[in-house]
Amino acid sequence: MTHEFYIKRCLELAVLGIGNVSPNPMVGCVIVVDDKIIGEGYHQKYGEAHAEPNAVKAVIDRFGADAETLLQQATAYVNLEPCAHFGKTPPCADLFVKHKLKKVVIGNRDPFSGVDGKGIEKLKNARIEVESGILDEECKYFNRRFFSRIQKQRPYIILKWAETANGYFSTLDGHQKWISGALAKRLTHQWRTEEDAILIGKQTAIMDNPQLTSREWPGKNPVRLVIDKDLQVPQSNHIFNSAAKTIIFNEVKTDVIDNVHYIQMEDMHFYLAQKIAFQLYLMDVQSVIIEGGANILNQFLTANLWDEARVFTAPNSWPNGLRSPIINGELREQIHIGLDKLSIYINHTI
């Protein structure tokens, strides 16, 4: 088998941690002897063991007294450079050194300053052969949320909306009128389990009274973020229930009441998208879905503060309505979700 084959297997394992490891990256590890996988592991939950110790443990659990001899003959594959610092867990590079692995093959170098080549250096100093840069671009895109937070000092920003076949986004009076179908809704709930937070504006909170939970897909709920400058959203609305943590960006107060956190900002009519992006970075929010309305989506588009846009286009048309935001990005993928068409755009200008 090739190095690429095993790194792809690392990614297959790593994605099992999506939604549960932030603000850490998603990492998988495969340990191989004589072209046979003898142990696998992935980072399952933030604060718990990383992929590498889970893979080593799998070898020890399976082979018992023979494990040490096998590890000394082994090549470990990992999609991201093993960490070299003490954080929530000990350094993974030290673990490989301790067990005297023969070789380590790596997808990406870790851009975090506490690692960034230091893990590779530790391995080489212990006379472990290291090869890196395998499927480098694929691995970077896979961990794009992590790379965005580390390199851009902001979360990975996903814009999401639905539009009619003739380009309408919402009704003229702002009242809720469902555009996309049931399958699109279920997929949206799956996405919510995969990202840290979801953001809407005051108008959407008042007119639609959304729950912003993942109730139609198993997994965690995202943190609910609401822009409400003057605190006009009624306390009876769903965003104030106990289903998930809610953060209200406003100009009135900073306070914590049960699961609702109020964060006061100044001059919210200036550079709002930039202020929110930086505030989320400070809060270790690694990814956010922005669901609108149109005003909020257009503010992030105008500021060029977005990484990915997911747009559902329904087959039906409306006689009138508010026009959808205009997206200027590379079309990465188009697929049909029931009767709707999902277009995914990537922003390569940042």
CATH code: domain of residue 222: 3.40.430.10
Number of domains in the chain: 2
pLDDT per residue as tens digits for the range 51-89: 999 999 999 999 999 999 999 999 999 999 999 877 777
Q: Return the pLDDT at 350.
A: 65
* In a shared domain, residues 44 and 124: yes
- Domain boundary among the residues 148, 176, 198 is at 148
**171 versus 278: which is more confidently predicted?**
278
pLDDT per residue as tens digits for the range 117-131: 899 999 999 999 999
Q: What CATH number does the domain containing 113 carry?
A: 3.40.140.10
Residue-wise burial string across 317-330, b where 16 or more C-beta atoms lie within 10 A, e elsewhere: ebeebbebbebebe
**How does the average pLDDT of the chain come out, rounded?**
95
What tokens does 257 get?
């009441």
The answer to whether 205 is annotated as binding is no
Domain hosting 187: range is 153-346
The answer to whether 192 is annotated as binding is yes
* In a shared domain, residues 25 and 89: yes
In the predicted model, is pLDDT for residue 314 greater than 70?
yes
Work out the burial of residue 163: count CB atoms within 10 Å of its CB; fewer than 13 is exposed, 13-18 middle, 19 or more buried.
buried
* In a shared domain, residues 130 and 184: no
DSSP string, 273-321: HHHHHHHHHHTT--EEEEEE-HHHHHHHHHTT--SEEEEEE-S---SS-
* In a shared domain, residues 181 and 125: no
The answer to whether 83 is annotated as binding is yes
* In a shared domain, residues 110 and 164: no
* In a shared domain, residues 182 and 115: no
The answer to whether 212 is annotated as binding is yes
**292 versus 214: which is more confidently predicted?**
214
- What percent of the chain stands above pLDDT 70? 99
Round to the nearest angstrom and report the end-to-end CA distance of the chain: 37
* In a shared domain, residues 233 and 90: no
Q: Return the pLDDT at 1.
A: 80
Residue-wise burial string across 42-67, b where 16 or more C-beta atoms lie within 10 A, e elsewhere: bbeeeeebbbbbbbbebbbeebeeeb
* In a shared domain, residues 121 and 229: no
- Domain boundary among the residues 90, 121, 148 is at 148
* In a shared domain, residues 48 and 174: no
Task: Give me the phi and psi of 300, to 5 degrees please.
Answer: -70, -35
- Domain boundary among the residues 106, 125, 148 is at 148
* In a shared domain, residues 177 and 144: no
The answer to whether 261 is annotated as binding is no
- What percent of the chain stands above pLDDT 90? 90
* In a shared domain, residues 91 and 202: no
Catalytically active residues are 52
* In a shared domain, residues 203 and 295: yes
Q: Which amino acid is at 170?
A: S
